[in-house]
Each structure stands twice: as C-alpha cells, then as structure tokens.
Structure 1
Amino acid sequence: MKSALLCAAWLLASASAYATCTPPPPDGFNNPWWGNTLPERIGDDARLPVRRPLTDAGTDYLCPMPVEMGVAYRVHNYRPTAIVHALLDEQMQQAGFPLGNAPTAPAWDAARIYQQGERASHGGIVYQAQWWTQGEAPGVTASGAWQTVDADGIGAWSASRAYQAEEKVVHDSKVWAARWWTQGEQPGSNEWGAWLQTADPLPQPAAALPSRYSASLSWSGGELSVHVQSVNGALQGRPAYLEVREQGVALGRLTQFPAFYRDCFGAPECQPGVYWTGYGKFVSTKVPGSAWVSLWACNSKDVCRPAEVTRHVVGQTTSGHPGEPMPHEGDPRLGTR
C-alpha cells in the first residue's frame, strides 16, 4: 500500500512538472502582438524577399522538472534594428522588376584573364578591359584597366586604349568610328587619320541599375534612421536617390552618397575597399510593428534596385538572428532570414 502511494505521488509530481514547462512563445515576426493585426505587404513590397530584424543573444529556458530535460529552448528578444541587402539581378528578374537599358555582361571573375575589349559586370556596372588584366576589380581605380560601357556600347575615347577597325567612341560631343587599328590618336586631330566622324546621334545616358548595397535600419521614438553602404568597388554605381517607403508610402529620400575609403593597415579580418554611403533620419507614421519598410535605390522612376523588406518587431522568437554582414558582398540568399 505504501509503495503504491509513493508511486502515485511520483506520477503526480511528474505530471505537474510537465505542466509547468512553459511552451515557447509565439514568434513576434509572424504573430500579432497586443491585439494588433499583422501588416499586409502591398504593391511592389509584396514581390520583395523578407529579412527579419536582429535579435539579442537570447536566454535559455529550463523546465523546472525533471532535471534530465535540461534546456527546453532559447528565447531571443527582437531588437529595433534590421540589416537588409539589395536584390541581385537574378532576384529582380524573378520578381519581375526591370533591369534598365544598360548593357549586360557576365559577372567579373577574379581568377579569369581578360583580354583587351572583353567585358565584365561588377557591382551592377558593366566594364570593358582596356588591356590584358587579371585580379584587378573593376571600378576600384579610375586609372585602372577597366572603363565603364555606355548603354549603346559606345564609351568615351581613351588615349591609352587600342581600338579595332569599326569601333566607335565619343569625343568632343561627336561619335567617331575607327577606320583601322589605332591607339593614342585623338579623333578629329587628322582629317586623313584613323578616325572618321559619323552622323550617329550621341548615345543617351544609360538608365542603369544602381550597384548593390546593404542598409541598417533602426527605430527609436517614432524615428527611423537609415545607414546605407554599397558593396566594394561600386562608386560608379551610385544612385540618383534612395527612397524609403513605409507600407508602400514614401517617407523621404537620400540624395547624397559620399565616397568612403577603408584602409585596414594590415588589420586581420578587415577588407580594404571603396564604397558609396548614405545616411538619413525619417519620421515614422505608423505604430511600431504595424508597417513594412522597403528601400529603393533609383536612377529614374522606373529603374530602381530595391532591398529586402523588413519591419520593426516588438516580441520574441526562438530563432536567433544576432548579426548580419554590412555590406553583404556575396549572395544574401545564403544567409539567415
């Protein structure tokens, strides 16, 4: 009888222990809080990939009993900060966004040898090799092996570049065609020389997509701070403006994108480079957590490179996300969302 009572008491205690092990909280990113409904992604925002805001390091939750259960789960609080990344060209095509009328070329490969005249894209910009080159990233220096290519494939004349017969250049507000192979001869300097003036109209400026970038968004007291930084070597891909939208409505624009040069002086885990940057503050018009925020770097109304959409979250999660690279030089789809 006594052993039966002890057994019953143990079973009751075990049941109570399991009952006191609180289940994980609902994820604040996907569940409403304080009676609010989840915001709907509308318009172009509905076509953008989603990036969660950052979280703290988290706290382990241990069930009170039995001891052998150990850590049940880890709870993270969402921080009022998110880091988002601009879409790759492939992502934009998949989402149905236009890529502009700029020329295209395969992505630059640091290991590949490029011969004079070959093209490569880097940071959203198309470049053409002026001479044999390998390992030199396009756009890093104005005097390097690479020069940008205009929308019609016609670039400005360069004294250091060799041109093949029938290649065209722009010089002195005119379009010229090479009669034969030439290098160093200025178009128009010799009537019987290598260059023949054509009747072609001047190429229109390319409505090219801005280069890729990452951005940090921070919410504080009804104010949204935005800090944006391009990928390395993308100075020539600076946008005309970057628009900040809240629930599809523009809060304002950034229009100044100064150059930022990073010299690591041999510091480990530091990548030297050159970037364009931007910073601004905007007044949020929505209750925290009730609106999606998106960024659009544009060179014209219809030629924009958006970033992932995100929102301020008040709540918790069991999926920690304490950090993101800024900027993200690789494929952002491979990281934590």
Structure 2
Amino acid sequence: MEEQILKQLAQPLLAWYDIHRRILPWREEVSPYRTWVSEIMLQQTRVAAVLPYFQRFMEAFPTVEALAQADTERLMKLWEGLGYYSRARNLQKAARILTEQYGGRFPETYRELTALPGIGDYTAGAILSIAFGQAVPAVDGNVLRLAARITGSRLDVLDAKNRKIFRSWMAAAMSQERPGAYNQALMDLGATVCLPSGAPLCGDCPAGDFCIARQEGCQARLPVRSPKREKRTEHLTVFLLRRGAAAALRQRPDTGLLAGLWEYPHVPGTLTEAEAARQLQMWGVNPTKWRKKLSARHIFTHVRWEMTGYVVEVDGLGPGDWLWAEAQQRERLAIPSAFEKFTAELKEGE
C-alpha cells in the first residue's frame, strides 16, 4: 500500500520542483565531484552555512586530484567551523583512492561508491542519481519524514531495519526519467515545506491531496522516532596561555572526537584558580599574570562540554608536544569551533 501511495508523488513533485527548486552552486554546474563534496558538507549542516565553504573549497581544490594532493593542515583549516571534521578527512582519503585506483574518475556502481571512506547509502544515491542519471534513491532524514507522513507509517525511522523498508518504498516510487531531479525535489520539499518542527506548510505541498498524515491531522506526530539517548556532560578547564605574542596549542590524537585538530591545553573537571595554578606548575609553566576567567559551552552529537577557562600570562615552555604559535601561524591551523570563545578572546587581546 505504501508504495502505491508514494508512486503518486513523482509527477506533482517534479512539477513543483521545476517552479520552486533552490538555486544552488552544485546544481548549476553538475559533476560527480561537486555533488559528492556538497552532499558531504550538507551532512548535519544547513545549506546557508555550507554555501561559502563550498565556494572556497572548490576554489582551493577544483578536482579530485587537487584534493588528494592537498596539504592536510590546509584542508582542515578550510573546513574549520563546519564541524564533524572526520568528513574532511574521509573526503581526502576517498580522493586518494579515486586518484590511485580510478584515475580520478568516480565509479558508477553503488557497491564501489559505498566502499569509499565516508560514502554511505544516501551519498551514493545522490551521486548516482544526480551526476549519473541512475534511478537510485537517496534517503536521509528529510526523505524519511516525507515518506512517513505521506504514507502515514508508524514505523520508527531510527530503526535500521525500518530505514531499509522506507528505502525500498522510495526505490519503487521514484522517477525513472528524472531520478536526479526527483531526489533533489525531495530534498527541497523536506527543507522548505514538509518541515520537521511540527508546522509543515501543507497547503504548499504537491503531496497534499494524498498525504495520509494530512488527512488524519497527525503531521506533528510523524515520523515516529525512538527516544534519543541523553547527552552526557563533560566539564573541562581550558587554559588560554600567553607567552609574549604566542599562545599555547596542542594537537589532538589522530582518532576520536576532533581528531588531529589543534586545541588549547585543558584538563577534565572545573578547577579553582589555586588548582589551575598547580596544574600549570605540573606542566612546567609559571603564571605571571592572571588576566581573565571565562565560561563556554559546546554541544556535540552525543556529549556536551561545559568549559571554564583561564587567560594567563606565563613563563616556561610546558610539555614538549605544545606549540607556541603567534597569530599568523594560528591562522593556518584548524582550531575547532568548540573553542570559538577562547579564540575570540585571544584575538581581542592581541
């Protein structure tokens, strides 16, 4: 039944899309590379935030080969502020495989694409449909919401087995003539009309005449999602240490959260000034002037950081893995937006 309901969507959806489609740079000049980069950037990130990053990325790395050969530090710096930095690392890993094994060209099969780092079901579907004209669905959260509301499905969309069911419905229902436009139309409809906030603009929706959720008045209750796990909170004390014009940085490990990025030295817990002074001595630096105390918060997907920060002028070099970087050098290093307030404080003090 669900497939039959969804099969009614293609014609009115594409007619709606031809009038209302969003004008986006990766749509105006289509290539597998541009589609891939845009879709990776758009994961967990709003279109408006992605636009300037996409333009700068394409100017810096216009081809797969350019990305494969790029200096990793420069790549991470260009990505700074977009978050989810593993996306950038996987882009470069995949670019190197594409260069070495495929001569810089993209494979045109789902199996080969999903074997590349960072390319999953949705991204493979987007590349194959948009860049290669293949009738392969691209099912993300927006499409799951649309499908659940149009069919009235009470299946939990966070369950992996159910997501496969939704994908099979969308595969059966999608346009064979314009698969790329069909998938992009679904993206636009979910982003601009069938909104997740519980206030969809049903009067503007091309599926309004046959949408089960609209008929039953249950749009706000769909899709069904199992309760999310509570975010854990971690308390940190961050040290913004100045030695002349230089500030102390250290590089995070190559794996895990914010892997390979640069950060200000910090320790777990919320330290008093006396405890912070003892920590500085343990690091082999001596505080000469305590300038300021800060607080900041950053929320990741599964964890919340509550940060207390001290701005301190010091003597001494500290641990051997610290980098004392002046402003010009810091500008070339990727420092996560989690520390944005501390970076801004550093710039104000210069």
Query: Could you tell me the TM-score, scaled by structure 1's length?
Result: 0.23
Q: TM-score, normalised by structure 2?
A: 0.23
Kindly name which structure, 1 or 2, has the bigger radius of gyration based on alpha carbons: 1
Query: Which is strand-richer, 1 or 2?
Result: 1
* The structure with more helix, counted as a fraction of residues: 2
